[in-house]
């Protein structure tokens, strides 16, 4: 059992070492601590089940983060196919709707209005960017992931993250300037 038990020990060490980084990636994807813990736990389980798939010539960090990202994407896809309940649906006739019963950390209507046009403009412009530019901007600039963490999430090299981020920021600045000129700002 010499080789196999050493591999198991290595994979377990990798999971222990990389869990904080994988959790940050999961949080950037789910924006929910409990969902992030579950995602990292499921990723750890999958890695243990498929440990023979690990390629020692690749980064363990990138592998773990890619598993987290792929599980998240698979979960979103399956969720889209399942039927859900509308939060605006009332529970009983003339009663409260589901959304009124759920606790919310979301800011109130007045707070949202106070955030102003700039946040809407940022979203509008970001949505106009190419997919790879939008992804890297959100990970690095909005969710404050390091280049290495973003590379793991996107399953690309750090150099690719840097070049995409440079191009994404440039494209964003150009669109921002055009929008401000068009709106007289």
pLDDT tens digit sequence for 39-81: 999 898 888 888 777 777 777 788 888 889 888 888 776 655 4
Mean pLDDT comparison of 82-86, 132-136, 139-143, highest-scoring range: 132-136
Q: What is the pLDDT of residue 130?
A: 94
User: Mean pLDDT across the stretch 77-87?
Assistant: 55
DSSP E strand boundaries for the chain? none
Position 118 scores a pLDDT of 65
**Alpha-carbon separation of residue 133 from 14, 20, 46, 129 (angstroms):** 30, 26, 29, 6
**Tens-place pLDDT, residues 153-168:** 899 999 999 999 899 9
pLDDT for 149 equals 87
d(CA 164, CA 77): 26
CA nearest 45: which of 76, 71, 83? 71
Query: How far is residue 59's CA from residue 20's CA, in Å, rounded to a whole number?
Result: 16
pLDDT at 178 over 80: yes
Q: Reply yes or no on whether the pLDDT at 185 is more than 60.
A: no
Q: Which of 153, 165, 138 is CA-nearest to residue 62?
A: 153
pTM: 0.43
User: What is the average pLDDT score of the chain?
Assistant: 77
CA-CA-CA-CA torsion sign (88, 92, 98, 100) = positive
pLDDT reported for residue 162: 92
pLDDT of residue 99: 54
Is residue 143 predicted with pLDDT exceeding 90?
no
Mean pLDDT for 21-38 is 89
């Amino acid at each position: 059992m010499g080789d196999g038990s050493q591999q198991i020990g290595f994979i377990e060490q990798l999971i222990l070492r990389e869990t904080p980084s994988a959790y940050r990636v999961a949080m950037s994807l789910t924006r929910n601590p409990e969902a992030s813990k579950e995602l990292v736990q499921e990723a750890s389980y999958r890695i243990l089940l498929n440990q023979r798939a690990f390629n020692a010539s690749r980064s363990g960090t990138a592998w773990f983060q890619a598993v987290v990202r792929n599980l998240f994407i698979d979960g979103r896809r399956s969720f889209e196919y399942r039927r859900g309940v509308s939060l605006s649906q009332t529970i009983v006739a003339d009663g409260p709707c589901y959304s009124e019963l759920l606790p919310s950390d979301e800011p109130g209507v007045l707070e949202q209005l106070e955030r102003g046009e700039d946040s809407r403009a940022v979203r509008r412009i970001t949505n106009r960017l190419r997919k790879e530019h939008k992804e890297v901007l959100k990970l690095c600039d909005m969710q404050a992931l390091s280049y290495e963490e973003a590379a793991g999430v996107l399953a690309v090299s750090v150099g690719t993250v840097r070049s995409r981020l440079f191009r994404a920021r440039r494209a964003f600045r150009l669109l921002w300037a055009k929008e401000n000129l068009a709106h007289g700002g």
